Amino acid sequence: MRVFRWIWTLITGLFLFCTTAFSQGSWTPMETPRFSGIPQSINSYDSSPDNIFVAAAGDLFLKSGDQKEWERIFRIRGENSKVNRFLISPFDPRAWYILTTNGLWQSVDAGSHWMLSFQKIGNEANNILSLTFDSQNKSRLYLGTNRGIWISHDQGNVWHRIFSELSHTPMVDMAIAQQDHELFLATSRALYRYHTGLDQLERVFQNTLSLNEEPEAFEFEDEAHTSSGIKRIILGQDTFFEIALGTSHGVLVSQDEGETWEQLSLAGLRSIEITDLAYAKKTKQLFAATAKGVYVYHLNEKRWIELYEGLTENRIYAICVQPTAPEKLIAAGENSFYQMDLHMPSFQNEVMLPTKQTFDQLHQLIQLEPTVRDVQRAAIRYAHVGNGKIKRWHLAARARALVPDVSFSKDLDISNNIHVDTGGTNNPDSFTQGPDDRDKSTGIDFSWDLGDLLFSSSQTSIDSREKLMVELRDEILGEVTRLYFERRRLQLELLHQPPADELSQMKAWLRIEELTANLDALTDGYFSRELEKRYSHSPYWLYLFKNADV
């Protein structure tokens, strides 16, 4: 890693600063509640900003104010039962709702007592996935279950099923727009919009459609067994989006009530699998939890910035914004919880550009590094997901028609040879046994199925394997490309935005090493080996490298 330390010394030693900078704080570990499994959701509400609620396994935990310990305020009994989410009514801060796999539980006294509000005997609808409140009618609730949508007009006492065409569809999430009074319903692969005044349900997004393609007339389908897709809906307020969808392939936003959609840039993300979304109303920032870290979207630069300082876990399952002053971002991993104070991005305006000589040196330095295509090829070779393998399979499947099926046979037939001499009246019959009759045969058969020249029965199997391999290759190439350009962006930031203190310098250096190590992991060490080899063939840079005091 000496190469990268020297690169950092070169850049920080040659460039004066400073310019516009985006800053965020670092994560601080929190006390973690004791539970088994993984956290399902984490929430904090305007009506009780000092409280944080966590649903995990079959328990609901509460952390109040500066209290360090978490308090278990609810536990659901039953095998495989778990708490999915927790909500507080926006109209009554003492009306609490717990969504579980075994029904909806409600409290009217801020959790002192609980009653079962919704449960169907022997019905999969008992798995409650989402709940939202009607902004124009305080008594009306919409309930999303594993089997369709239910509505209550009396704050959850009596429920009726609505939208029979979605009666077999899990409702992953729901949200209602306060101004237009439109209810958005998310399944795993589609988003529906319902206007209560018009009593009209329409699909406004499906993940199999192109982003700006308007959906045509459709048929509702059974989505009970569909997998990845939409994970979360959030509504924006006075920001660059009205609706945001967190999906297994990134974040999509709409600014026109779901008529058209735009996918936010994937730049900066180490994983496009979104596990949760959160929006900070005061700082107007969009946050995403993924399978590999937590990110904030930088609107001006059209990319995601990873919030990694102090975060020791990779996969984050749930996030929320705690509406305190200042706002806090809370993140829940499998084994640890974290918090971060949120502030408006800070900017420094003094600018001192590097000299032309420095720019030229940086340009030469970048030219020495492998191109993104070189790194992609190395990743393909290491993972054995190149097109050549499939081409060889297809060629071999057709060439098989020219190779005969060979069968070998050998027969041996032995029979007795007996002669019968019929006697007279006084003479008995006599039998004479001769030598055995032996019949031997040997055969070799060759057969060709010339139809395989046109289409082989193996083609179907090859096509299936090809599809899986292409998906794996796309995933690997996407990861390599994101890591490569994230590393390149960090190099450029070190040119234009050099850190002002030694600690920040070391953090930036460690970040470059981390990205380099990730590229090495995907290319079997190719990236580092290639860097050292290329420096060894450049006397000028090799001299600086060997004489760098690092």
Apex 543 CA angle, 539 and 545, nearest 5:
115
Q: Quick one: pLDDT band at residue 23, thresholds 50, 70, 90? A: low
Nearest partner of 18 among 489, 503, 493, judged by Cα: 493
Residues 6+ apart with CB under 8 A from 57: 35, 36, 37, 82, 83
Is 49 a domain residue?
no
Nearest partner of 284 among 339, 247, 241, judged by Cα: 241
Overall number of domains in the chain: 4
- pTM beyond 0.85: the answer is no
Query: What is the pLDDT at residue 223?
Result: 38
By residue count, the chain amounts to 550
22 compared with 403, residue with greater pLDDT: 403
* pLDDT tens digits for range 304-317: 998 988 888 889 99
Contact 525, 385 (CB under 8 A): no
Q: Quick one: pLDDT band at residue 254, thresholds 50, 70, 90? A: very high
Q: How far is CA 502 from CA 14, 490, 499, 509, in A?
A: 15, 17, 8, 10
- From its phi and psi, is residue 23 left (phi > 0), alpha (psi between -120 and 50) or beta? beta
* CA 151 to chain CA mean position, Å: 32
Cα separation of 322 and 7, whole Å?
Answer: 40
Half-sphere exposure (Cβ direction) of 491: Cα atoms closer than 13 Å: 22
Reported for 35-39, long-range contacts at CB under 8 A and 24+ positions apart, including other chains, are 35/59, 35/61, 37/82, 38/317, 38/334, 39/317, 39/318, 39/332, 39/333, 39/334
Cα separation of 477 and 96, whole Å?
Answer: 46
Is 48 a domain residue?
no
Specify whether 206 is located in the same domain as 83.
Answer: yes
Mean pLDDT of 210-227: 37
What does the block give as tokens for 337? 């919880």
Is 361 a domain residue?
yes
Specify whether 163 is located in the same domain as 235.
Answer: no
**Which H or E run contains 252?**
strand 250-254
Specify whether 378 is located in the same domain as 520.
Answer: yes
263 compared with 2, residue with greater pLDDT: 263
Specify whether 334 is located in the same domain as 434.
Answer: no
Share of the chain above pLDDT 70, in %: 81
Buried b (16+ CB within 10 A) or exposed e, 24-62: bbebeebebbebeeebbbbbbbebbeebbbbbbbbbbbb
Contact 276, 288 (CB under 8 A): yes
Query: What is the pLDDT at residue 158?
Result: 92
Specify whether 370 is located in the same domain as 495.
Answer: yes
Q: Residue 250 carries which side chain, given as an amino acid letter? A: G
Query: What is the pLDDT at residue 356?
Result: 67
Is 15 a domain residue?
no
Is 52 a domain residue?
no
Is 3 a domain residue?
no
Specify whether 149 is located in the same domain as 211.
Answer: yes
The CATH number that applies at residue 105 is: 2.130.10.10
pLDDT at 484 over 80: yes
Apex 474 CA angle, 246 and 514, nearest 5:
75
Q: Quick one: pLDDT band at residue 15, thresholds 50, 70, 90? A: very low
Specify whether 106 is located in the same domain as 26.
Answer: no
Q: How far is CA 389 from CA 373, 375, 383, 465, in A?
A: 19, 19, 12, 11
Domain membership of residue 113 as a residue range = 76-178+189-225
Is 341 a domain residue?
yes
Specify whether 145 is located in the same domain as 279.
Answer: no
Specify whether 94 is located in the same domain as 238.
Answer: no
Q: How far is CA 248 from CA 276, 440, 466, in A?
A: 10, 69, 22
What does the block give as tokens for 126? 């008992």
Query: What is the pLDDT at residue 399?
Result: 77
Q: Quick one: pLDDT band at residue 18, thresholds 50, 70, 90? A: very low
* CA 482 to chain CA mean position, Å: 15
Specify whether 211 is located in the same domain as 127.
Answer: yes
Specify whether 540 is located in the same domain as 436.
Answer: no
Query: What is the pLDDT at residue 471?
Result: 85
Specify whether 242 is located in the same domain as 169.
Answer: no
The residues pairing with 125 across neighbouring beta strands, listed in sequence order, are: none
pLDDT at 465 over 50: yes
Q: Quick one: pLDDT band at residue 135, thresholds 50, 70, 90? A: confident
Query: What is the pLDDT at residue 188?
Result: 85
Query: What is the pLDDT at residue 1?
Result: 46
Is 11 a domain residue?
no
Bridge-based pairing state of the strands 337-341 and 328-333: antiparallel
Q: How far is CA 222 from CA 161, 170, 174, 401, in A?
A: 17, 9, 18, 43
Contact 329, 339 (CB under 8 A): yes
Does a cis peptide bond (omega within 30 degrees of 0) precede residue 326? Answer: yes
